[in-house]
Structure formats: structure tokens, C-alpha cells
Structure 1
Amino acid sequence: MHHMLWAGSVGERLRRLIEKINPGGAARLWSLLTGVSRNRYAGTYITSLTEHGQKASESTLGRLSMWRACGGDTNACLVIDPVVIRDEKRDDGLFIGPVLYKDPNGFIRYFSNIIDLMNEHIDIVRNIDIVERLYSLFTHFSVISKHPGFHEEKEWRVYTGKYLSPNREIPLPVTPVSVGGVPQKIAQIKFEHLKDMQGQPLNADKIIERVIIGPSPYGIVLKEAIEAAMVTASFGNPGDRVINSNIPLRR
């Protein structure tokens, strides 16, 4: 998207703003944005969540489109307490936020409003490294932007990456695993990395409100297995927190 933005009138406005603050900065920013390395892609880690509805249908059945798009015969939905995504002031290189559903033209209009705000507060903007800040901003947008056709997913993303972290380091331990038969590296978020609004450490029992087992011919077996795992992990009232979706989905 930044290629289209840069080439048009909004890009011209952005270049004028940068040059007003940092002569030569526009060319340096463009060099950073186009000098994409493999690490920028392979070194970015994302977990996708969906904003769960409070209606009785979704709270007990889950969302049909999610079962269809992401489901299998042994899938489950973990309903988590939003306390883990409320902290918008993290400074450890781990970011949490909603997906931006924009097509290229919609994104350009959206970014034009950002330029308006920057011009409005030019005295503040002069005191920051404008090139580094804009590079970081475009990098974030590359991670959280998605085609508007997917808007009903109401997706949030938990993400990190070398080019998103303040010290250019991944703030989480990285380990190789096999996911769906594909060997790959994942960044692990451990519970001690997460804290509640009072700064107290969270654990699985506090984070996971309940589990909805997706439409499956093995629903009874899955329910028993998940409840047993929750007992082992010292969850409170696991029998009340694991439910089967009874959507009669046929694949």
C-alpha cells in the first residue's frame, strides 16, 4: 500500500512534511521502506484473535464463519478475558491491536488524516525522529492491514518482530516446532509476560474464560479430554467452562 500512497498526492504531502522537519528524510524513509529484507517477513510473528460477540448464539455456539474458515473435526475456540489485550502502552516490543480493514484507496484516505494531524501538531512532531517513527508506523500497518472483505471476522492481532521492537530484537523466546506438518519457528508468549490491569501476573485459569468445542463427530471425547487437561492445570470449575457447539455443520 505504501507504494501507491507514496506515488500520489498524499505521498507528496507526506514528503513535504518530512522535508520541512528533516531535509533529506523523505529519500531515507523511502530507502528503508523499499529495502525489505527476508528478516522483515520471516522475523514477524502473529497470533490472530476474533472479537467474540456477547449474544447468546456466539457465546454458546461460536461463530459459524470461524468454524468454516479455520475449523476441522477436532477444533476448539478459546474464549479469553479481554484483560490481556487492554494494555495499549506496552513498551516491550509485543503489540496488540485490531486489524485495519482497508483497501489501498481506503488506506490512503486513512493515512491522509494522519498527515493532517501531524501538520496540526507540527511543533510536537519536530521533536521526534520523523523518519524512524514513520518507518515504524508503515511497518505496523503492513502487519495489521487486511482486505475489507474480511471485516466480519473482527480480527485482533498479537504480534512482534525484529523491525517492530524498540531494540530490534524479538522480545519473546523463539523455538522451532511443527505446525500442521510444516516445520517453522514460533515466538512463545508465556504467562509471565502477561499482567492484569493492576500489574499482577496472569495464568491460564484467569485468561481462558471457557472453551467452545467446534462442530465435531468427536465432541464428547474432546470435551472429556479438555476438561481433564484443565483439571491437571488447576482450572476452577472445568465442567462448567467446556461446552460443545451444536451447530449442525457439514463439511
Structure 2
Amino acid sequence: MNDVAAMNDLANAFEPLYRDIEERDTYPKIRPHLAHYTSLEVVESILKSGELWFSNPLYMNDFEEVKHSLKLSVESVKQSHALKEALKSESMFETFALRFELFVDHFEKEYLINAYIFCLSRHEMANDDGILSMWRGYGASGNGAAIVIATERLNSKSQSPLIIDEVQYMTRQERSDWIRNKLIEASEIIARMEVSESSVASIAFHVFERLRVFSFFSKHIGFSEENEWRIIYDPHRDHPAVNYANFYSYSIGRRGVEPKLKLNLIKTEFEMNVSDLIDKIIIGPTVSGEFSAKAFERMLMMLDKPSLASKVRVSGIPFRG
């Protein structure tokens, strides 16, 4: 067996670790409407440039995201009796734990700065008002707008470095239990293998990969009312044929210079304009009104987006910030 075949066989062996994702009703099985709440300035920038601005997870508002999950994963690996039994020797277990921690450390130092998230909230088609808590938290205290996209118009690409999924909300204990149970699943797979010094690093990598993906889509239960979905750019999945690194950029805001991924869909394998994804644009409740809608429509005309004018809605929530 050549090296490529051996690598493919190893990857296939760990596919069951992703079965929980496959069994859930998520994208692309379902194609929900998703709303991105933001400021009017960002909406203008998106429409003017045709770019979706993805944020780096290290600049996001839940400090437990990503880095916390990865730290918890390292601790759980070191404490896993199931892994120790599956690897059959103390030295092999120590090598596995060391390699796992090195993968986490390398990802945090070299890759996480180039991992990006576009956050959205699940949106009911008939809702033309938006959600009050989302306006308060993300829609410029009601002074912004929500861009609602129809994911049914987005073609699923198996080779894309983008992952689309809903967020799982958990308490700290639930998150810890999930990781521990996933390590038990991994241990059952490893126990059926012939593990050697030359293969233990690759085995640790596949376990790390599953827990890394989990870290992108887990969030503290206190945020559950957001009904968040995410589009993740995963640098581990990027490859020369698509090369999303071409979209690495930055923005300057209240926290200084922030890394961004400014994704122009027309220049990707999706080959479509952002405007083609938009189902409606809801103007926030503190700026809503007949004149605000007309001014917004004028902006669309000046941005050469007249087809979006009929998709503008005005939130009727009685909220004035």
C-alpha cells in the first residue's frame, strides 16, 4: 500500500467521528433563511464591494469560543482513560497527548489568525421585523440593518474551504462531556488499529481535526436565543484550486486593526453575486420609517442595485434604543 492510500484509509477510519453532524438536520439537508445583523455602514460596504466580511474568532464576543474549546480538548486528552487503554502503553499515550497538544499549539499560532467566521441568525421567512435581541446586540442598537440570505440559492461545493452549520449551545459541563464522549468514540476506533511510533502522530491529528471543527460551532448556552448559524472559512481545507488566501484583508474599527476575510463570491467557485443570495434587507427599528426606506432605496440605486429595492423591509418593532 502506498502512502496516499494509507493516508486515505486512516482518514476513512475516523469518518464515524463526524456521524453526529451527518445525522443532524443541517446544511445542505436543509436550506434555511439566515440573517446577518450589522451596521448600515457595513451593509453599504457589502453591497458596494460585493464582499462578505468574515471576522476572526479571536475578536468575537464569547471568550469561551474556539480557544477555550481547544484548551479543554487538550486537558480532556491528557485525562482520558479510554485513550490510554486504546493506545495500550503509557509511552504511546504520552506521545499521542504531546502530538495532540502540538497540533493545537500550531493551529493557534499559525492558522487561527487566518480562520474566519461569518455569523448569521436563523430567520423565519415571514418575519419582516427581525429579532429585538439581535438588533440590540449586533444591529447597531437598532440603527443598522439585517441582510437576509436564502441558502437554497447557494450551491453546495464539496471542495469548498467553507463550512456551513448551526451553532450548538452548551454549558461548560455539557461541552466537557461532549469532548470526553467524542474521545471515547475515537478510542474505540484506535483500539482496532495497529498503532506504532510512526503512525501515532497521524492518529492524533485526525482526533484533533474533529475537536477543532467542534470548537468552531460550539458556544455558551447564554447566547442560545441568537439561533446562530455560521459560515466558517477553514484554512486547513483551503487548496490551490480555490486559494481563499487571496481574500485575506483587514478593517480598522473601535478595536484597532482587525484581520478580515473579504470574500467576493463571484471570484470563487460559487461564481455568484452577493445580491443573488439576498432575500430581503430589513432596516432597523430605530431608523425605520417611510423616509428611511426611501433613502435606503436611493442608496441602492446609486450603488447600481435597483433589483434590491423591492426587497427592502422596515422593522415595525417599537424600539427606539
| Fold in common (TM above 0.5) | yes
Map residues 1-251 of structure 1 onto 2, 5 A cutoff: 1-8=72-79, 11-17=80-86, 23=92, 24-34=95-105, 37-54=108-125, 56=126, 59-72=127-140, 73-83=142-152, 87=156, 90-118=158-186, 129-162=202-235, 164-166=236-238, 171-180=245-254, 182-192=256-266, 193=268, 195=270, 201-217=271-287, 219-231=289-301, 232-236=303-307, 238-251=308-321
CA deviations 1:165-211 (Å, max 9, x no partner) are 3559754511232245732231111122263xxxxx32233200000
**Secondary structure, counterpart of 1:249 in structure 2:** coil
Residues 168 and 217, structure 2, Cα contact 8 Å, conserved in 1: yes
> 1:194–1:166: structure 2 CA closer, same or farther, 3 Å change rule?
closer
Residues 118 and 231, structure 2, Cα contact 8 Å, conserved in 1: yes
**Secondary structure, counterpart of 1:61 in structure 2:** coil
Consecutive unaligned residues in structure 2, runs of 5 or more: 1-71
AA at the equivalent of 2:225: E
Query: 2:180 and 2:108 mapped to 1: Cα distance?
Result: 27
**Secondary structure, counterpart of 2:159 in structure 1:** coil
**Secondary structure, counterpart of 1:188 in structure 2:** strand
Consecutive unaligned residues in structure 1, runs of 5 or more: 196-200
TM-score, normalising length: structure 1: 0.76
Of residues 201-210 and 60-69 in structure 1, the stretch that sits farther from structure 2 once superposed is: 201-210
Query: 1:115 and 1:85 mapped to 2: Cα distance?
Result: 34
**Secondary structure, counterpart of 1:187 in structure 2:** strand
AA at the equivalent of 1:216: T
Residues 93 and 171, structure 1, Cα contact 8 Å, conserved in 2: no
AA at the equivalent of 2:227: K
Across the aligned residues of Structure 1 and Structure 2, the Cα RMSD in angstroms comes to 3.5
AA at the equivalent of 1:91: Q
Task: Tell me what 2:30 maps to.
Answer: none
Query: 2:184 and 2:253 mapped to 1: Cα distance?
Result: 44
Residues 176 and 185, structure 1, Cα contact 8 Å, conserved in 2: yes
Of residues 11-20 and 61-70 in structure 1, the stretch that sits farther from structure 2 once superposed is: 11-20
Query: 1:95 and 1:148 mapped to 2: Cα distance?
Result: 22
**Secondary structure, counterpart of 1:51 in structure 2:** strand
Of residues 172-181 and 207-216 in structure 1, the stretch that sits farther from structure 2 once superposed is: 172-181
Deviation of 1:137 (Å): 2.3
Residues 2 and 138, structure 1, Cα contact 8 Å, conserved in 2: yes
Query: 1:203 and 1:7 mapped to 2: Cα distance?
Result: 47
Deviation of 1:233 (Å): 3.6
Residues 18 and 130, structure 1, Cα contact 8 Å, conserved in 2: no
AA at the equivalent of 2:226: E
TM-score, normalising length: structure 2: 0.61
